[in-house]
Every structure is written in C-alpha cells, then in structure tokens.
Amino acid sequence: MYGTFNTLLNAGRLKLGIPPGGDLRGRLFLSSGLGGMSGAQPKAVEIARGVGIVAEVDYSRIKTRLDQGWVNGSAGN
C-alpha cells in the first residue's frame, strides 16, 4: 500500500505541480476496481489527504474492502 501511496504523490508532483512535502489535499482521485492490488488505492489517497472515488460493480469486492477498512463507505447497493 505504501508503494501505491508513493505513486499517487509522485504522479501529483509530476502532473499537478504538488511541491515536495505536499499532499493531495484539495484533489479528487477517481479510479475503478477494488479487487487485487487496486484495493490499496482508496486507503493510499486517504493517507495522502486527498479524496478518492472508486467505481466497482462487484458488491462482494466492495464489501470485502469495507470489512477490511480500506474504504470508508459505499453508495448504491
């Protein structure tokens, strides 16, 4: 998960001009999928102080990530 965290911050620095030592505060991260390694993305963006929206159509994957504490909530179902 820390690899995902570092990747998000480095992408923000490269593409959004976030300074070294900065975070994703005030930024929205949009992605899809909560299976496999994708499940780390919501927690990584939270630690980086951004806001994340992750689209997932398989409720079992959403439930798993909710139960594990990797996502804070879900909409729909």
Give dist(CA 46, CA 29) in Å, integer: 10
Is residue 74 situated within a structural domain? no
Full residue range of the structural domain in which residue 13 is found: 2-68
Is residue 61 situated within a structural domain? yes
Is residue 46 situated within a structural domain? yes
Q: How many residues does the chain have?
A: 77
CA separation, residue 70 to residues 14, 17, 41, 47, 62 (Å): 26, 27, 8, 11, 10
Q: What pLDDT does 76 receive?
A: 79
Reported pTM: 0.85
Q: How many domains does the chain have?
A: 1
Give dist(CA 50, CA 22) in Å, integer: 11
Q: What pLDDT does 30 receive?
A: 95
Q: Cα 16 from chain centroid?
A: 17
Is residue 36 situated within a structural domain? yes
| Beta bridge mates, 32 | 55
Task: Give the model confidence (pLDDT) of 19-65 as tens digits.
Answer: 999 999 999 999 999 988 788 999 999 999 999 999 999 999 999 99
Is residue 49 situated within a structural domain? yes
